[in-house]
Structure 1
């Protein structure tokens, strides 16, 4: 896992068609108020988009706009991406085409 010596994740600007996401943490408390141990909480494949690159180029040199924007919720693959750690926080960089779906709420 890459460790970045940046003071803030805002210092990272994805290039081309890359998308910076942070995995959404699963609930550690049930609806009834019971706290679950970490071993019982499954990691979610949902993430929040924090930053998006300007887009890749097609064969004619025209820029292809990314399919997501900062603030969007997306479904990410179980494995893949480039993990990044800033301080204690963990993030991932994915290419736009690696994202599985955009979650509309």
Structure 2
């Protein structure tokens, strides 16, 4: 099954959080925080503005993004946990040099 987000929504897959601290301490799943980074898996067409025009999305499939720890609605598709959220819930796109 695939999801096609509507309007200004995106589908995000959380990236795995590191389970070892810089000092070498291994964290259990209960102690580890929810990751706040993810990869965009699908994007909608864009936000419909008051004048009826559609503002295109600023993110694209494959972008690595930052978002709030409790952002989005979690859904499980084919055993994979994904988040559905509005583009405005994203904080930034992570760009590597």
TM-score, normalised to structure 2's length? 0.83
**Preserved CA contact (<8 Å) 2:13 2:41:** yes
In 2, the alpha carbon distance for the partners of 1:100 and 1:29 equals 25
Equivalenced residue count is 96
User: In structure 1, what is the equivalent of residue 53 of structure 2?
Assistant: 62
Partner of 2:85: 94
TM-score (norm 1): 0.78
Which runs of 5 or more structure 1 residues have no equivalent in the other structure?
A: 1-5
Please give the secondary structure, in 1, of the residue aligned with 2:57.
coil
Deviations 1:75-101 (A, max 9, x none): 011113111111321101111111111
Which runs of 5 or more residues in structure 2 are unaligned?
none
1:1-105 counterparts in 2 under 5 A? 6=1, 11-28=2-19, 36-105=27-96
Aligned alpha-carbon RMSD (Å): 2.0
Select the structure that is richer in helix.
1
Secondary structure, aligned partner of 2:17 = coil
Report the Cα distance in structure 1 between the residues aligned to 2:84 and 2:14, rounded to whole angstroms.
Answer: 11
